[in-house]
Structure 1
Amino acid sequence: MDDPAACAHSDDGNRDFHVLAEQLTQDLISVLERPDLRVIAGARHIALDSALETPFRVDADGGVVLGAPCLAPPGVASFFLRHALELARLLEIASVDPVLAGMCAARTAALFRTLDVVDEGAGGQAAWCADMAGDVPPSAACLGAVWAMLAPLQPSAGVPADGFAALRVRLTDLWPLLGPAEALMAEGGDGRLAIDPATGLNHYGCSHRPRPWAVTFASSTASSLSERGFAGAEAARLRLVTECVAGRGDAGRTELVRDLHAQIAAHFHLADDEGVVLAPSGTDCELDALVLAALAPGGHPVSNILLAPEETGSGVPLAAKGCHFANDTALGAQVEKGRLIDGFPADTMLLSVPLRGSDGALRPAGDVDRDCVLLARHARAAGRHVLLHRLDLSKTGLLAPGTAVLDGLTAGDNPPDIVVDACQARLDPCRVRDYLDRGWMVMVTGSKFFTGPPFCGALLLPARMAARLGHGRLPAGLAQYSHRGAWPDCPAGRVLPAGENIGLALRWSAALAEMTALRAIPRAVVRDRLNRFLTAVERAIDASPDLARLPAPSPARPPLADAWDDRPTILSFFVRDPAGAGASFVPLSLEDARALYRWLNTDLSRLVPPDADRALASLLCHVGQPVPLPHDGRPDGLAGALRLSAGARLVSGEPSHDGLVPDRRMDREIGDALRVVAKIGLILRHWPAIARADPVQTYAPHPVMDGDAPLPRC
């Protein structure tokens, strides 16, 4: 974007120019510097004309001219700018009808407005928003009235050749695909993806918009998008919209999703006879793995052996039995949690092997391996088919059972199916390739280590498992969870509805942008950056009297040159309970740890006394959600272990850090992690006052959320 101060102008050069320039600096510049709008604007020419009475004008050359209404509060200006940028992009599509482009842009702007806290200063210029933000297009008459307000904003504005009734028919087909990327990415998952407009965050405390001012080490749970990830999702969205307005919507959706299959396959080096099943989450992957096991020759009932269910997703044990794991599905179907999904065998048996004892201590690896072998052998002796999990890694970074044990089980007759839960994705792609070569399925996500948006998973199928899809049928109830486009083209998938999960496709597009950036970094550099960061942060945690780090054994992996995945990248720790008495370390309860997790991601500057470090209190720190673990020091219940994790962006760099040399950038990352430790201490010192207020997390610090200040510098 152009320098906005240089774009300010006045015909007579009087004092009004200086007032305008000052207002531009305080308000409009904060809008132009929004990371999401900067990504969307790219290099587009943007100017300001204070004499323009309309909010903006899109010129024939694609430039955007902002008018006087954009000098209203920043929330209003951001809405006008987002509308202008969308319209400018759509008008560049050679075959698009200008009226259709205008209506599509208005739909996207209206949904953008619902995600922002917008001052009513938009007035009559946004009077059409409620109609255009509805679930279906407004009536033909209403479209005509809306167009009367929109037409002055773009060049060559006429009326639709076939009338507004025909335009409404066209919009009906396009409606579900129109909207800003951050809104569309919240679809096709579940309610945890929904953004609270009051806070700008979802259930996980993160956003589908970039949030570069926040300190983020939450990749063991979920991350806000970086500018890179947001650009990846936005590029995919524009590709879809371009195809749709050109009348090639069905083909465009199919091609986008098939390209995602190909990119994921290429990242993990899959062969042509192998396959990718897209899934909204790791829990959905569990359902899909059970489906593949049930298709094994012989038709035997399945015994599903799960490792450490307490350290996987909360719905995994239900999915592992073929049951609904929530009351709604990614496709919006209302179901009964815990009830068997239609078509899944009722005789599936769930078995589990814990990785920790009743006191929370790690069990010996040999004991875990022995339990897996005994359960698998007993199930086979009972005439059952076994689906056995290898956990790589758990929420706290644990890996089990050992590879040698699994190799031994698969060497005999009636071998079990193995599925590797690698949803944390904290392993080199060549490790995944090795698993596939062994004939094992692998669950991955783009939303953990890779720091893509939450709810983008995939089940990778080796050749022998993919071949099972050439016969039989998928369970009918799977149609409530998955489209046909999520699966390899196969006879078994014909029971599924045609189509694609667009929200999932955009989330994977964002994740693949991060995966591509990481792939460009040499393995030795990845190792060195992770080692430098993790070593420094481990020392800081161990030096803090407020924290107790959980032991995490190094993942037992075969030797690999310059391996980076042979040391823990999730640092789990208990936090001292400020109400604890005596010299012994008493950790926070699970509920208090959850509160601390939220407060770290909150601007607390208004809740600490003036003599406290208010700059530190205002810092937004996003870490991994607490894991419930038993602890001898908490006879009243579970303790909660927080997690500070190294993710892909730590290695490849935030786009907002461009210009920093690698060593300086890593110093900054380490410094940010140390500030997380410091903010925990600050919260513990002022726990009673903060607990009484119990503040909520927000997308940005207070002054920005209040509309009183520009976005903080990154």
Structure 2
Amino acid sequence: MAYRDAAAAVHPGTAPSRAEVLAAWLTSGGDERIALDPRSGLNRYGCGPAPDGCDAAFGSSTASVISAEAYEAVGRRLDRLLGDPSVQGDDRSAYRAEAQQIRHQLAVLCGLPAAMAENIVLAASGTDLHLIAADLARGAGVAPLVTVMADPRESGRGVAHAVRGLRYAGCSPHGGACAEGEPAPGAIAGDLMAVPVREPDGAPRPAHAVDADFERACLAATRRGGPVLAVLLDVSKTGLIAPTPACALRLKRRLGERLTVLVDACQFRLGVQSLARYLEHGFLVALTGSKFLGGPAFAGALIVPECAARRLRRAPLAPWLGDYSGRDDWPAGFVGRGVLPDLPNLGLALRWRAALTELSAFRSLPEAEAADALTGLAEVIQTRLDLHPRFERLGAPGPRRFGRPGWDGVSTIFPFLVRHDGRVLDAARTQALYERLRSGPQPVRLGQPVAVGVRDGEPIAALRLSISARQLVQALSADGGRRALAQRALDVLDLVARRAAEVG
């Protein structure tokens, strides 16, 4: 569909408003998770397609509502596209140019050489990125791919299906309706080996124990004779890194091309130096613009290190990837993209425009100042969680990767359990609390509950208070901004404590 037909796609036979056109595009080119409920006007993450001014938005580990600045940037870009005569009847060429500009800007903002834009694959979601990475790791062989990763509950909901070549949603960006869990047509079903990262009661396992299990699993997987994909979570839904980068590097050096390492950095809580180190080691890196950056949900990018790109540019791609990936989502140098449909995804491009607006603002902050602000904020939040009788903090060390950490060595996701009458709320009551918080008269957005273990014979789940790049930019751009952000976080925790009594 040509871009200037957007208005007709929103409400046929009517003249929709600019906001309705923007909403239609920002929620297109994904799956049912970003479709708007006709009654609430919100997607499955509880977010609408336009800024809403919520002051209690601490859910960036799940999703965020687009900011006013990003919304205006997207609107200006869409206006230019709709007013460009060259776009009329040639939306494929327009998307091709948009995708290339996004790849270039992302590379530069990530501190990479501009030429690395030719190694960036765009995708609608982080789950789609895992699907693509698994296909690259599998190669042209017929042996099933074995994926080794941390407990899938710490990653995206559909990742465990995606890496095995299974459907993970009821529809896809370019395909029709499908059944979750069924094999993709023509896919070679893979296997999954999951490594626990928490004790049965939810406490984090020691890093050395996780690493040891991860190494054993990868070595066992390679003995099967087929390709192996190791997924390094950086960071998980609850802020963990698993396995350690040192463990992944040891395995890569030992196993060579038999092992592909994918860094799941879809939270994008990663500094430029850490990203560069991962790529230097030959690891694929998956990023999204909708978590730490605070862009609208469904904007992903897979960065292929140059040492791997020289081989992967010549690799074939599975035709069934075309349900999830279009030809111009890939740089022109990847010859396998020829089997993919020539279908544009303007919604993806506009969501990335929003995310890059946030990334550009964040990159303008002095790193030392950002690290100092985050350190102070983390101390305030962790202290409240430790001292309040309603909460139990699921403590974990700050992220550790290579050498001296930067701002990304400070925790920005704070998982916690909620107590009532001396007991931890079970998973069902925690979910009820989460729903009550986000739908109340003063909506509060936290990260969706994550299953972490069992207490008293009942499954338990952690809520997550998460800091976003946009919040940090705002805090460092105004007098008293740090104190104001810390106070808002404390106010949210106090409200959680009060509401807990209502569901206990």
TM-score by length of 1: 0.66
Q: What are the equivalent positions in structure 2 for 1:203-218 lying under 5 Å apart? A: 203-218=44-59
CA distance in 1, matches of 2:191, 2:489: 43
Task: Please name the residue that 2:61 is paired with.
Answer: 220
Task: Please name the residue that 1:401 is paired with.
Answer: 243
1:522 pairs with 2:337:
no
Q: What are the equivalent positions in structure 2 for 1:538-553 lying under 5 Å apart? A: 538-553=382-397
1:233 pairs with 2:77:
no
Deviations 1:115-156 (A, max 9, x none): xxxxxxxxxxxxxx661379xxxxxxxxxxxxxxxxxxxxxx
Q: List alignment gaps of at least 5 residues for structure 2.
A: none
Task: Please name the residue that 1:198 is paired with.
Answer: 39
Deviations 1:603-636 (A, max 9, x none): 3xxxxxxxxxxxxxx4221111111122324x2x
Residues 301 and 680 (structure 1), Cα distance of their counterparts in 2 relative to 1, 3 Å cut: closer
Please tell me the residue identity of whatever aligns with 2:299: C
Q: RMSD of aligned C-alpha atoms?
A: 2.6
Give secondary structure in 1 for the equivalent of 2:492. Answer: helix
CA distance in 2, matches of 1:343, 1:469: 20
Give secondary structure in 2 for the equivalent of 1:568. Answer: coil
CA distance in 2, matches of 1:189, 1:199: 19
Aligned partners of 2:378 and 2:410 also within 8 Å = no
The Cα of 1:220 is off from its aligned counterpart by 0.5
1:312 pairs with 2:155:
yes
The Cα of 1:309 is off from its aligned counterpart by 0.9
Q: What are the equivalent positions in structure 2 for 1:90-109 lying under 5 Å apart? A: 107=7
Give secondary structure in 1 for the equivalent of 2:229. Answer: strand
Q: What is the aligned counterpart of 2:224 among 368, 382, 389?
A: 382
Task: Please name the residue that 2:472 is paired with.
Answer: 651
CA distance in 2, matches of 1:208, 1:369: 41
Aligned partners of 2:121 and 2:302 also within 8 Å = yes
Give secondary structure in 2 for the equivalent of 1:411. Answer: helix
The Cα of 1:400 is off from its aligned counterpart by 1.6
Task: Please name the residue that 2:137 is paired with.
Answer: 293
Q: What is the aligned counterpart of 1:265 among 89, 95, 107?
A: 107
Deviations 1:221-252 (A, max 9, x none): 00001111212221221222122576354432
CA distance in 2, matches of 1:361, 1:667: 30
Please tell me the residue identity of whatever aligns with 1:269: G
CA distance in 2, matches of 1:344, 1:236: 38
Deviations 1:447-500 (A, max 9, x none): 111111111111110123323343342111111111111112121010101132
Aligned partners of 1:185 and 1:507 also within 8 Å = yes
Residues 379 and 678 (structure 1), Cα distance of their counterparts in 2 relative to 1, 3 Å cut: closer
Task: Please name the residue that 2:376 is paired with.
Answer: 532
Q: What are the equivalent positions in structure 2 for 1:112-191 lying under 5 Å apart? A: 131-132=13-14, 180-191=21-32
Residues 449 and 351 (structure 1), Cα distance of their counterparts in 2 relative to 1, 3 Å cut: same
CA distance in 2, matches of 1:342, 1:246: 34
CA distance in 1, matches of 2:412, 2:96: 36
CA distance in 1, matches of 2:439, 2:179: 35
Please tell me the residue identity of whatever aligns with 2:337: G
Task: Please name the residue that 1:252 is paired with.
Answer: 94
Please tell me the residue identity of whatever aligns with 1:442: V
Which has more radius of gyration? 1
Task: Please name the residue that 1:704 is paired with.
Answer: none
The Cα of 1:517 is off from its aligned counterpart by 0.3
Aligned partners of 2:204 and 2:394 also within 8 Å = no
Aligned partners of 2:371 and 2:410 also within 8 Å = no
Q: What is the aligned counterpart of 2:205 among 363, 382, 387?
A: 363
CA distance in 2, matches of 1:427, 1:316: 20
CA distance in 2, matches of 1:323, 1:598: 30
Q: What is the aligned counterpart of 2:145 among 296, 302, 312?
A: 302
The Cα of 1:682 is off from its aligned counterpart by 2.7
Residues 502 and 661 (structure 1), Cα distance of their counterparts in 2 relative to 1, 3 Å cut: closer
Residues 480 and 629 (structure 1), Cα distance of their counterparts in 2 relative to 1, 3 Å cut: same
Please tell me the residue identity of whatever aligns with 2:156: G
CA distance in 2, matches of 1:486, 1:575: 42
Please tell me the residue identity of whatever aligns with 1:529: A
Q: What are the equivalent positions in structure 2 for 1:418-497 lying under 5 Å apart? A: 418-489=261-332, 490-497=334-341
Deviations 1:654-697 (A, max 9, x none): 8xxxxx96341222212211221221233234448xxxxxxxxx
CA distance in 1, matches of 2:497, 2:212: 42
Aligned partners of 1:222 and 1:447 also within 8 Å = yes
Task: Please name the residue that 2:398 is paired with.
Answer: 554
The Cα of 1:204 is off from its aligned counterpart by 0.7
1:592 pairs with 2:429:
yes
The Cα of 1:378 is off from its aligned counterpart by 2.2
CA distance in 1, matches of 2:196, 2:392: 22
CA distance in 2, matches of 1:292, 1:130: 41
Task: Please name the residue that 1:278 is paired with.
Answer: 122
The Cα of 1:300 is off from its aligned counterpart by 5.0
1:602 pairs with 2:439:
yes
CA distance in 2, matches of 1:384, 1:576: 47
CA distance in 1, matches of 2:5, 2:342: 25
Q: What is the aligned counterpart of 2:461 among 600, 620, 640?
A: 640
Please tell me the residue identity of whatever aligns with 1:556: R
Aligned partners of 1:483 and 1:496 also within 8 Å = yes
Q: What is the aligned counterpart of 2:454 among 621, 631, 636?
A: 631
Give secondary structure in 2 for the equivalent of 1:417. Answer: strand
The Cα of 1:424 is off from its aligned counterpart by 0.9
Please tell me the residue identity of whatever aligns with 1:591: A
Q: List alignment gaps of at least 5 residues for structure 1.
A: 1-100, 112-128, 135-176, 604-617, 655-659, 689-714
Aligned partners of 2:151 and 2:197 also within 8 Å = yes
Aligned partners of 2:91 and 2:344 also within 8 Å = no
Please tell me the residue identity of whatever aligns with 1:639: I
Q: What is the aligned counterpart of 1:243 among 71, 78, 84?
A: 84
Deviations 1:231-283 (A, max 9, x none): 22212212221225763544322211111111122222344265111111111
Give secondary structure in 2 for the equivalent of 1:325. Answer: coil
CA distance in 1, matches of 2:296, 2:85: 25
Please tell me the residue identity of whatever aligns with 2:442: L
Stretch deviating more after TM superposition (480-489 or 533-542): 533-542
Give secondary structure in 2 for the equivalent of 1:667. Answer: helix
Report the identity percentage: 35
CA distance in 2, matches of 1:413, 1:524: 37
The Cα of 1:409 is off from its aligned counterpart by 1.8
CA distance in 2, matches of 1:214, 1:599: 17
Aligned partners of 1:243 and 1:249 also within 8 Å = no
Residues 532 and 423 (structure 1), Cα distance of their counterparts in 2 relative to 1, 3 Å cut: same
Please tell me the residue identity of whatever aligns with 1:131: G
CA distance in 1, matches of 2:272, 2:210: 26
The Cα of 1:197 is off from its aligned counterpart by 4.2
Give secondary structure in 1 for the equivalent of 2:149. Answer: strand
TM-score by length of 2: 0.92
Task: Please name the residue that 1:668 is paired with.
Answer: 484
> Higher RCO, 1 or 2 (CA under 8 Å, sep at least 6)?
2
Aligned partners of 2:262 and 2:286 also within 8 Å = yes
Please tell me the residue identity of whatever aligns with 1:188: G
Task: Please name the residue that 1:8 is paired with.
Answer: none
Task: Please name the residue that 2:185 is paired with.
Answer: 342
Please tell me the residue identity of whatever aligns with 2:449: P
